[in-house]
Chains A and B, each alone.
Chain A
Amino acid sequence: MSNVMKEYFLDLDRAAKDPARKVAWCTSVGPAEILRAMGFEVFFPENHGAMLGATRVCMETIPVANAHGYSPEICSYLTSDIGAYMKGITPLTKAFGIEEIPRPDVLVYNTNQCKDVMHWFEYYASEFNAPIFGIHPPTNLPEIKPEYIDDVARQFEALIHFLEPVIGHPMNKEKLKSTVALSLEATNLWSDVLNMAQAAPSPMTFFDSTVYMGPIVVLRGTEIAVKYYKDLLKDLKEKIQKNHSAIPKENKRIYWDGMPVWGRLRAQSNIFKENKACVVASTYCNSWIFSDFDPENPLPSMAKAYIKIFINRNDQYKEDYIEKMVKDFKIDGVIFMAARTCPNNSNASYNLPRKLKDKGIPTIIIDGDLCDLRCYSDEQSTTLIEAFLETI
C-alpha cells in the first residue's frame, strides 16, 4: 500500500516539475476520469488534508489559517491545508521527501459534497493564478431525476471544452471510455473489498479501510488502482478462509457514520479492540462506490454516479441506506461522528439517530472532527463509545 501511494506522489512531484506534463487539482468526488482521460496528473487536496490530520501536523497549521481569516468553524481540511501552504510545509516531505505540493495547471471542483471546496479551490486559483472550473450539481436530493443527470452531463461537456486549451489537445473519446471502464472496475473491486467485512468475524475494520481507501480516492481510472484492489481482495478472501478475525473474539459489530477522526485513528481502534467490537462498515469508505459508471455512456453515467452519492442526498435516503447496511453487515449499533467543521458529513443533526433508534437500531453520537482535535475529547469519546458497547 505505502508503495502505491508513494509512487503516486513521487510521480505527481515529477509531473509538477516537468513543463511537458500538466497537473490538475480535483475534489475527492470530482470528475477525475475526465482529467485522467485528457492526460492530466491529478492531485486531491482533501487527501492532503487527511494526511495533515493523520500526522496531526494540522494542529500547527489550522491556527495559521484561522489567524488569516479562515474561521475555526469551517472545513478543517481546508484550514489544515491552506494553513500548511501559508506556513510552507507539507507532510509529503517527511513521508516521501517531496518538498512542496504539486503546483496546479488547473483546478476542478464539484460541489456535490459541499461548498467549502469551492472557497478552498478559489483560494489556490488566485494564489497560483491558475484557471478554475466548478461543477455545480443539484444538491441534497431525495431522488435522481433525468434532468439532473442531463444538467451535470452538460456541465461535464463544458468542462471538457474548458480543459482542451489547457492541455493543448481535444478529448479522445476512446480514452475517456477506457478510463471510465478502469474506474468502474476499481470501484467495483473496492465495493467487493468493503463487503468482505460482511463475514463474521470480519477480516478487516473501518480503521483498516481508511488506509485501504487511498487508491480509490486518488487513482481512480488507472490500472494501478485495479491491481491494488485485486490483490487486496485476494488477501482478504484468504483471511476469511482461514477464519482470521481483525478483532480477536469479535462479539459486537458497529457501523460508523461520518468522517474518521484522522488524528485519533489508532486510539479509537484500540478502544474497539479492547472491547472486542469491530467497526465493520462506514458511510465514509462506501462513499467511493460508483457502480453507475458506464464506459459506453461515460458522461451521463458519471453525472449520475457523482450526484447519487450519500452526502448529496436527503435524510430519508440516508436512513434507508444505513438501515440496509445494518442488515447486510449484521450491525449491532451505529456510531454517528458529528464533525464540528463538516456538517456535510455529519448526519446526526436532524434527528436521524433517533429515527433509527425507534426502528430498534441502537445509536450514539460522539462529537469530534476530521482534523481539528481542539473539537475532540478523548475522555468523553472513550466513555461514550465504551458505555454504548456496554449497553448494546
Chain B
Amino acid sequence: MAVTEEIYWGVDCGSSEIKVVALDGQGNILLKRKQKTLFPLQDHVRLALAGESGDLSPFRNEGSHDIKEGHKIIATGYGRKYIRFAHDALTEIKAHFIGVQKQCDLKDAYSIIDIGGQDSKIIAACNNKVDQFAINRKCAAGTGAYIEELGHRLEVPLKDMTELARGNDKELSLNSFCTVFSGQEVIKTLMNGERIENIIYALYSSVVKRVMEMTAITTDMVVFSGGVLEYHSELVNMFIRKLEENNANMTCILSPNAQYCGAIGAAEYGFKSS
C-alpha cells in the first residue's frame, strides 16, 4: 500500500500579501511562495496554496475535512480567522517566534523585531518560549503601511528607497506620531528644498524610533523578520546602529526567509503538533 505523502502548509495571511510555505514529512522546506492579498480571501488563499500547478484538489472546499489526506494547513496573520478550511490557526506572534526558532539556532534570550504591512512587533523570547511581546499601538507609524503611504506621496518606488536613504548627507528626522502629520511634515520639508535622500532617511529613522519606543529591548541578540525589513536593507542597518548604540554587546541578524518567518512558523507548528 502506498504511504500517504505528508505536507504541512503554513499560510500567513497578511494585509498586503499571502505567504505560503510547505514542509515535507521531515520538516524540510519544500516550497515558499506569495501573492497579493486579494478577495474573496478563501479563493486566493487556495490559489496561493495551489501555486502554478493550479491543482486545487488538495484544498477543495470550506471545511478542513475536505482537505486531501496527508495535507495539514495552519493559518496565521490578520486573515487567519477567515481561512475556514485551515486545520488550526495561531497568531503571528507565535508563528514568527516558531519560524525564527526553527531557522536560527539560538540558545540564549533574544528579541525579534518584525515589521509587517500593518503592524510592527517586538517579541522577547527566552527558554524556548515567548516571554513577552509588544505591538504598535493606535496608528500605522512604524509599519510597512507608513513607508508605503509616504513613498507613494513622494512618488518614490519602494525598491529605490534603500539606495536613496544611503545617499543622505544629514540626519533629518520626522517628529509626528501619525502618518497624516508625517506626510504634511514631509511636504513642508520638500517645499523647503530638502534633498529626497534626506527625506527617505528621515522616514526610515522615524520607523526605527516608533518601533524602539514600543518596549525596551533587554536582550543582547536581535533577529529581524518580516518582508519590510527584507526589502529595506538600509532600514535594517539603521536599526542595527541604534541597537548597538544602546547596547555595546548587541548582535543582530536577519532571519533567513525573513518574509516567510510567519508562514514557516505556522507550517512548523502543524508539523510538530501532528
Give the interface segment out of B127-135, B163-171, B176-184, B249-257: B127-135
Cβ–Cβ contact B78 & A379, under 8 A: yes
Residue of B nearest to A357 (CB): B132
| Bound-complex Cα distance A383 to B91 (A) | 6
Known interface pairs A367-B138, A390-B130; A383-B78 also in contact (CB < 8 Å) = yes
| Bound-complex Cα distance A362 to B133 (A) | 11
Cβ–Cβ contact A387 & B138, under 8 A: no
Q: B83 at interface (Cβ–Cβ under 8 A)?
A: no
| Bound-complex Cα distance A386 to B92 (A) | 10
Q: A391 at interface (Cβ–Cβ under 8 A)?
A: yes
Q: A380 at interface (Cβ–Cβ under 8 A)?
A: yes
Known interface pairs A367-B137, A380-B119; A387-B91 also in contact (CB < 8 Å) = yes
**Which residues from A are CB-within-8-Å of B91?**
383, 386-387, 390
Cβ–Cβ contact B132 & A384, under 8 A: no
Nearest chain B CB to A240's CB is how many angstroms away?
A: 32
**Which residues from A are CB-within-8-Å of B133?**
387, 391
Residue of A nearest to B131 (CB): A391
Map CB proximity to A onto B82-119 as digits: 1 under 8 Å, 0 otherwise. 00000000111110000000000000000000000001
| Bound-complex Cα distance A239 to B119 (A) | 43
**Which residues from B are CB-within-8-Å of A383?**
78, 91-93, 119, 135
Known interface pairs A357-B132, A379-B78, A384-B135; A391-B94 also in contact (CB < 8 Å) = yes
**Which residues from B are CB-within-8-Å of A357?**
132
Map CB proximity to B onto A340-382 as digits: 1 under 8 Å, 0 otherwise. 0000000000000000010000100101000000000001101
Cβ–Cβ contact B78 & A391, under 8 A: no
**Which residues from A are CB-within-8-Å of B90?**
390
Nearest chain B CB to A381's CB is how many angstroms away?
A: 10
Nearest chain A CB to B272's CB is how many angstroms away?
A: 14
**Which residues from B are CB-within-8-Å of A365?**
137
| Bound-complex Cα distance A384 to B214 (A) | 14
* Among A379, A380, A387, residue most surrounded by chain B Cβ atoms (within 10 Å): A387
Map CB proximity to A onto B126-165 as digits: 1 under 8 Å, 0 otherwise. 0001111101011000000000000000000000000000
| Bound-complex Cα distance A357 to B81 (A) | 30
Nearest chain A CB to B124's CB is how many angstroms away?
A: 10
Cβ–Cβ contact A391 & B129, under 8 A: yes
| Bound-complex Cα distance A161 to B92 (A) | 61
Nearest chain B CB to A337's CB is how many angstroms away?
A: 13
| Bound-complex Cα distance A390 to B89 (A) | 11
Cβ–Cβ contact B135 & A390, under 8 A: no
**Which residues from B are CB-within-8-Å of A384?**
135
**Which residues from B are CB-within-8-Å of A367?**
137-138
Q: Which of B78, B81, B93, B137 contacts A387 (CB 8 A)?
A: B93
| Bound-complex Cα distance A329 to B35 (A) | 47
Nearest chain A CB to B234's CB is how many angstroms away?
A: 28
**Which residues from B are CB-within-8-Å of A391?**
93-94, 129-133
Residue of B nearest to A363 (CB): B132
Q: Which of B78, B93, B119, B137 contacts A390 (CB 8 A)?
A: B93
Given contacts A357-B132, A383-B92, A390-B94, 14 further A-B contacts (CB under 8 A): A362-B132, A365-B137, A367-B138, A383-B78, A383-B93, A383-B119, A383-B135, A384-B135, A386-B91, A387-B93, A390-B93, A391-B93, A391-B132, A391-B133
Identify 18 residue pairs between A and B in the complex whose beta-carbon atoms are under 8 Å apart, listed by A's number.
A357-B132, A365-B137, A367-B138, A383-B91, A383-B93, A383-B119, A386-B91, A387-B91, A387-B92, A387-B94, A387-B130, A387-B133, A390-B90, A390-B130, A391-B93, A391-B94, A391-B129, A391-B131
Q: Which 6 A-B pairs have the closest CB atoms?
A: A387-B93, A387-B91, A391-B130, A386-B91, A390-B94, A383-B91
